[in-house]
Structure 1
C-alpha cells in the first residue's frame, strides 16, 4: 500500500475524508474543487480519469491546498478563483468573496438596465429628425430658385439685404446604452456581470480599497471588458467624473451591512479571512447604506433604480428610509435564493 500510486481517485477519497474530519460542511465538493484546480481537470473529467496518477509536483501542490483548506481558509482563496453567474473571477485575501445571493442583486440591476434601454431616447435624450422641407418634397425634381413658391403672390419671400438663416446646430448624438454606477465593487463581480450580460452598457465601479480596485481591474481585463467598465478608487462616488453624476440609470451596491454586534458571530471561515471593512455596517448595519441613499438622487436619472443587497434584519428598515425620502416612486424588498429578505429595489420618480 505504501508504494501505491496516488491516483485521482485515491487522492479524492483521502482528501474528502481529511476535510470531513476537519469539519468541512461539503468535503467531497471541496476535494473535487481542489483537485480540479491542481490538475486542470473539470469535475466531470475527474471521474473519467480516476486511474490517472498525480505527478510529484501536483502532489506537492495538492498537499499545500489541502492543508490550507483544512485550516479553514475559504476555497476561493485557496484556488484563487470563483465562478459567478456566467463569468469566472480571480479572488484573493483582502477582498470579499462573491456570494450566490448577490446574483439576485445582479438580476435586479439588469431589470433597471433593461427598463432604461427600452425607454432610452426618453431618458437620455433623442436625436431629432432633420427638418423636412414640405415644398421640396412636393416638387423634388423642379425645386424653385425663389424659395417657397407656395407663398401668396406679392408676398416678400426674403427681405432684400437680409442675411441667410444660420444652419441649425447639429444634433447631439447620445451614445447607445445606459450607464450604471456600482459602489463597493470588490472583485468586480456585479459590474462585470452587468457589462458582460448587457453589451453596450457602460459601468463605473468604485471601491475604497486599493487592493479591491486592483483586483477588479485585473478581472475586467481578463474578461476583455476594458471598453465597458471603468474602475476607480475612492469613497462612494468621490472619484466619479462629476459630469456623469445624474446620468446613471442604475446605482447598485453590496455595501458592508452586517450589524457590528453580529460580526463576531459569523463563521470563522468568514471573519478569520475576509476583510472586516467589507462586512461591518455599523450599529444597525446601515451606516454605508444611509450615505448611498443620500447620494442616489444626485447620481440617478429620473426613473433610475437603486439596488442594494442588505442584511435580512435591516433591509425592511432600509426600505422605510427610502420611503421617508422624497422623490422615490417605489421601494420594495426581494428575497434571496434561500427566501430571506435581502435586496432593496427602489425607483426614482420620473
Structure 2
C-alpha cells in the first residue's frame, strides 16, 4: 500500500486493519489505478492471502488482519497495480468448475473457452462409443480444455500437445491434482507434428481434435489490455498477420487423424468464424460446419466434421 499514512496513525502507532477496512481501501486504490474490477480483484487476492473462500471475508468483516498477512497482501496489491493478472498472482484460475494452476507460461483460461468445452462435451456425449475413445488438444497450455473434458467424460482419453515445455509441465501438474494423469498423454511439439511423428498410433483414430489456438492478428497485439499484452505468453496470442495462421494448419492437416465421424472444434476470435467456414469449404476433407455463439452473441466456436 503506497501511502504510508494510510497504514499507520498520525503518531506512528500501528492501526488496526480489519478485513472490511482493508477491502474498502484496496477497492478505492484499484479504482484510482484504473483496474476494471477493483472490488473483485481485492476480494480474490485477500482470499488467496488468507487461504479462505470469499464468503469468509463477509462473515468475518470485522476480523483484524495480522501483520504478516498485511505484508503479503501489500505485495499482491503492488503487483496488481502494475497490471499483473490476478490469476498469475494467485497461481490459480477456476474453469468449468475446476481449479487450475496457471503461470506466465500459460494463457489464463477465459469464460469464452467454456463455450468450446461445452460444445465438445455435447457432441461426444451424442455417441457412447465416442466417449470411450481419444481426443487431441492442440496448444493445451494449462490443460484446462482437455482436463475439463476428461473430468466430465470419465471414459475419455486425451493426448495433449504444446510447443512450450513449461506449459506442458503446468498441464501435467494440473492432471495430477485432478486425478486425471492416467487418461492424459502430454507431447511437446509444434501443433500436429507430434501426432504425425506417431502416425501409426493416431492416424484415423481420434474422435475429436479441439484447439484454442493463437488467433490475435499481429497488428492488434499492441492494442491489447496491458494485463494481457505485457504478461501473457505472446506465443499463445499471436496468430500471424491476419490471425488465421494456426487455423490454416489445423484445417490442412487435422482431418487425417480423425475417425470417419470425427470433428475438429476450435475457438475463434471476433469476425473469424465465417472466415474459417470459408476456408473449410475450400478443402475437400471437410463437410458439415457448425458455428456456435457465446452469451454475447459472438460467433465463438467452429465445429467441422470430417467428410
- Give the TM-score normalised by structure 2: 0.92
User: Could you say which residue in structure 2 is the equivalent of 1:79?
Assistant: 90
Q: Which of the residues 48, 59, 68 maps onto 1:37?
A: 48
Residue 319 of structure 1, CA deviation: 0.9
User: Could you say which residue in structure 1 is the equivalent of 2:3?
Assistant: none
User: Could you say which residue in structure 2 is the equivalent of 1:58?
Assistant: 69
Q: Which of the residues 227, 238, 260 maps onto 1:280?
A: 238
User: Could you say which residue in structure 2 is the equivalent of 1:22?
Assistant: 33
Q: Which of the residues 81, 84, 88 maps onto 2:99?
A: 88
Residue 341 of structure 1, CA deviation: 1.3
1:10-49 alpha-carbon deviations (Å, 9 max, x no partner): 1111111111110111101111001100001211111001
Comparing 181-190 and 288-297, the one that deviates more: 288-297
Residue 250 of structure 1: SS of its match in structure 2? strand
Q: More helix per residue: 1 or 2? A: 2
Separation in 2 of the partners of 1:319 and 1:13?
Answer: 48
1:295-317 alpha-carbon deviations (Å, 9 max, x no partner): 22111101111100111122211
Contact 1:195 1:202 in 2 (8 A): yes
- Give the TM-score normalised by structure 1: 0.81
User: Could you say which residue in structure 1 is the equivalent of 2:180?
Assistant: 225
**Structure-to-structure mapping, 1:107-146, within 5 angstroms:** 107-117=118-128, 120=129
What RMSD in Å do the two structures reach over aligned CA positions?
A: 1.4
Contact 2:192 2:254 in 1 (8 A): no
**Structure-to-structure mapping, 1:1-350, within 5 angstroms:** 2=9, 3-117=14-128, 120=129, 177-240=132-195, 241-242=198-199, 243-349=201-307
Residue 4 of structure 1: SS of its match in structure 2? coil
Separation in 2 of the partners of 1:116 and 1:182?
Answer: 20
Contact 1:112 1:304 in 2 (8 A): no
Separation in 2 of the partners of 1:73 and 1:222?
Answer: 25
User: Could you say which residue in structure 1 is the equivalent of 2:5?
Assistant: none
Q: Which runs of 5+ in 1 are unaligned?
A: 124-175
